[in-house]
Amino acid sequence: MTQTDIINRIKQLKAEKNAIILAHYYTRPEVQDVADYLGDSLGLSREAGKTDARIIVFCGVHFMAETASIISPDKKVLIPALHAGCSLAEGVTGYDLKCWKEKNPDGLIVSYVNTTAEVKAYTDYCCTSSNALKVVESLPKDKKILFVPDKNLGNYIRKVTGREMEIWDGNCCVHNPIDAEMILAKLEEYPEADVLIHPESSCSHDDRVLHHPRAFMYSTAGIIKHAATSPKRQFIIATELETIHELQKQNPGKEFIPIHPKAYCGQMKKVTLEGVLEALEKEQHEVRVPEDLRRRALLPIQRMMEIG
């Protein structure tokens, strides 16, 4: 089958089966191009909650499809790459959180959405990189915050808000190597460019970066918005490099320079066009969470959605 045949068959099956394809910006370009909705973690969760489709084919890693299934239990959520994991989600368990909470009974647990359903079930509030600041700022000032699992996003939020926070020692293996030295060297190499940085990077709380006039910290969707609205022509992209596919599509006249050729999430690349087709054809790899667990995991997601 040629790529065009696969794409045509995907389109045909989508219509026949009333299915929708949701894809994260870090998936392969050809997968992004067949998606009905392309987004970051927050956008994808919102979309999963409002679609009328019978089937959601979730092109992303496992925790994302699981989150979609928690939000939309009446939909059949399929994941084309069943074993697409995430170093952040794998860095903490529900039992870890239970013990942490027992030691800090007055603390509020804020979990990044990059976690399993089990972890969400022990969580007070979820957040994504788009709304973490807003979520933390909305919480009572006298409460200590237990932030899990990304230490770089947590350190960034603590620095900006000045809140009392305990932070879990997890990291994203793709963003963590992006440090301040790397950012400063690239800014020197490209004196006209802005650098757009994902807060999972280890430079997230370095003053040399935070106070640099050409450095900006955003979620993936924020990076895309900045590039579209800025009068600048050149941008250094300090996040997963497939994001450049959408950036270039939206801004053909602008230049995007990847921070490093290894800022590449191999887990997201496990989703292929062939995998999407097979998932649709066989309605296979359904992600479903046991009802009791789902209800508990939904609560912190709903609280997050209410905050914005």
Candidates 212, 193, 172, 213; CA nearest to 258 is 193
* Encoded tokens for 225: 């918005």
- Backbone φ and ψ of 40, nearest 5°: -95, -175
Binding partner of residue 118 among ligand 13P, ligand SF4, none, CB under 5 to 8 Å per kind? Answer: none
**130 is an interface residue for ligand 13P by CB under 6 A:** yes
**123 is an interface residue for ligand 13P by CB under 6 A:** no
Q: How many residues bind ligand 13P (CB under 6 A)?
A: 10
Binding residues for ligand SF4, per CB under 6 A?
26, 61, 86-88, 114, 172-175, 240, 265, 267-268
**40 is an interface residue for ligand 13P by CB under 6 A:** yes
Binding partner of residue 267 among ligand SF4, ligand 13P, none, CB under 5 to 8 Å per kind? Answer: ligand SF4
Interactions with ligand 13P, residue window 158-177 (CB under 6 A): 172
- Toward ligand SF4, which CB reaches closer, 212 or 270? 270
Binding partner of residue 40 among ligand 13P, ligand SF4, none, CB under 5 to 8 Å per kind? Answer: ligand 13P
CA angle 249, 204, 176 (to 5 degrees): 80
- Toward ligand SF4, which CB reaches closer, 148 or 172? 172
Identify residue 300 by its one-letter amino acid code: P
Please write down the HEC assignment for all residues of 109-155. Answer: EEEECCCCHHHHHCCCEEECCCCHHHHHHCCCCCCCEEEECEHHHHH
CA dihedral 266, 301, 283, 19 (to 10 degrees): -100
Distance in angstroms (rounded) separating the CA atoms of residues 163 and 139 = 10
Binding partner of residue 87 among ligand 13P, ligand SF4, none, CB under 5 to 8 Å per kind? Answer: ligand SF4
Cβ at position 186, least distance to ligand SF4 in Å: 19
CA atoms within 13 A on the CB side of 54: 8
Burial of 203 (0-12, 13-18, 19+ CB in 10 A): buried
**56: three-class secondary structure by DSSP:** strand
- Toward ligand SF4, which CB reaches closer, 19 or 79? 79
Cβ at position 175, least distance to ligand SF4 in Å: 6
* Encoded tokens for 9: 């068959």
- Toward ligand SF4, which CB reaches closer, 26 or 147? 26
**220 is an interface residue for ligand 13P by CB under 6 A:** yes
* Encoded tokens for 40: 């970051």
Helices 62-71 and 41-50 sit at what angle, rounded to 10 degrees? 30
Interacting residue with ligand 13P among 128, 155, 176, 201 (CB under 6 A)? 128
- Name the segment binding ligand 13P (CB under 6 A); options: 124-132, 179-187, 206-214, 293-301: 124-132
- Toward ligand 13P, which CB reaches closer, 66 or 200? 200
- Toward ligand SF4, which CB reaches closer, 78 or 174? 174
Cβ at position 61, least distance to ligand SF4 in Å: 4
Binding footprint of ligand 13P on the chain (CB under 6 A): 40-41, 114, 128-130, 172, 200, 219-220
